Amino acid sequence: AQKITQTQPGMFVQEKEAVTLDCTYDTSDPSYGLFWYKQPSSGEMIFLIYQGSYDQQNATEGRYSLNFQKARKSANLVISASQLGDSAMYFCAMSPLGQAGTALIFGKGTTLSVSS
Amino acid sequence: EAQVTQNPRYLITVTGKKLTVTCSQNMNHEYMSWYRQDPGLGLRQIYYSMNVEVTDKGDVPEGYKVSRKEKRNFPLILESPSPNQTSLYFCASSLSLRGLWTEAFFGQGTRLTVV
């Protein structure tokens, strides 16, 4: 069965510090995509970053990077130089190839609080 | 502008009164899906559609119906809403690229309260 696990219900970080949000996944598919979304208090879902299972390099988008360790089935999100605006809920998601109906499977989310 | 549009954003209704939440996307995406988000449970898929006239159940389909008569629209229908359907609902659409789904584009969400 496909599953995403986010073990940190809440994380706290100070401005300008880096923070890592954990995500592990379970799939038997050889090809899959991994995603991170941000949900601020206003409620919308904002796409942050994508990693393909066959990508050789870890994905990077500005201050966001995805620490992809395929053997450990982990896809942690690293936010460098945290900002107050980073306070939000963060969801890890997976898209398994071949499981057409389950285009995106989500974890339960991690709430990040950034303080000044 | 590429977007997924959901309406209404907020809705309070009474038990048993049929309602429809509309969803429309302008990106020509094949795949559309409905999720509900509840505290501590993350996002759970209700129904999905691979293309026009093709729909199927997700993880939590009970009490919901959908239709996909046109590629751009994917309404969610609650025939007889109950209080346990109080939730935040998201519509999403995706494109298949080389067999993998690209990132989903989400609507703004519909906060539904059933009293």
**Residues A20-59 pLDDT 10s:** 999 999 988 888 889 999 999 999 999 999 998 888 899 9
Split at pLDDT 50, 70, 90, the class of A105 is confident
Determine whether the interchain pair A108/B41 forms a contact, defined as Cβ–Cβ distance below 8 Å.
yes
Strand B87-94 versus strand B105-106 pairing type: antiparallel
Q: Answer yes or no: is pLDDT of A84 > 70.
A: yes
CB A5 within 8 A of CB A107: yes
Mean predicted confidence (pLDDT) in B76-91: 97
| C-alpha A10, offset from chain centre | 14
Partner residues linked to B7 by β-bridges? B22
Q: Of A45, A47, A66, A99, which to mutate for an interface test with B (greatest number of B Cβ within 10 Å)? A: A45
CB atoms within 10 A of CB A16: 11
Q: Answer yes or no: is pLDDT of A100 > 60.
A: no
Strand A88-96 versus strand A110-115 pairing type: antiparallel
Contacts of A22 (CB under 8 A, 6+ apart): A6, A7, A8, A74, A76, A110
- Write the CA distances from A59 to A14, A103, B8, B27, B94, integer angstroms: 24, 20, 35, 25, 20
Reference B60, options B38, B29, B75, B40; nearest CA is B38
List chain A residues with CB under 8 Å of B45: 102, 104-105
Determine whether the interchain pair A33/B101 forms a contact, defined as Cβ–Cβ distance below 8 Å.
yes
| C-alpha B114, offset from chain centre | 17
């050789």: which residue's tokens? A56
| pLDDT one-digit tens code per residue, B32-66 | 999 999 988 889 999 999 889 999 998 899 999 99
pLDDT score recorded for residue A29? 82
Lowest mean pLDDT: which of A96-105, B6-15, B76-85, B88-97?
A: A96-105
CB A36 within 8 A of CB A66: yes
pLDDT score recorded for residue A41? 93
User: Which run of H or E residues covers position B41?
Assistant: none
Q: Answer yes or no: is pLDDT of A89 > 80.
A: yes
CB contact B103 to A (< 8 Å): yes
List, as ranges, residues 17-76 from A with C-beta within 8 Å of B. Answer: 31-33, 35, 37, 43-45, 47, 50, 52
Give the SS3 label for residue A86: helix
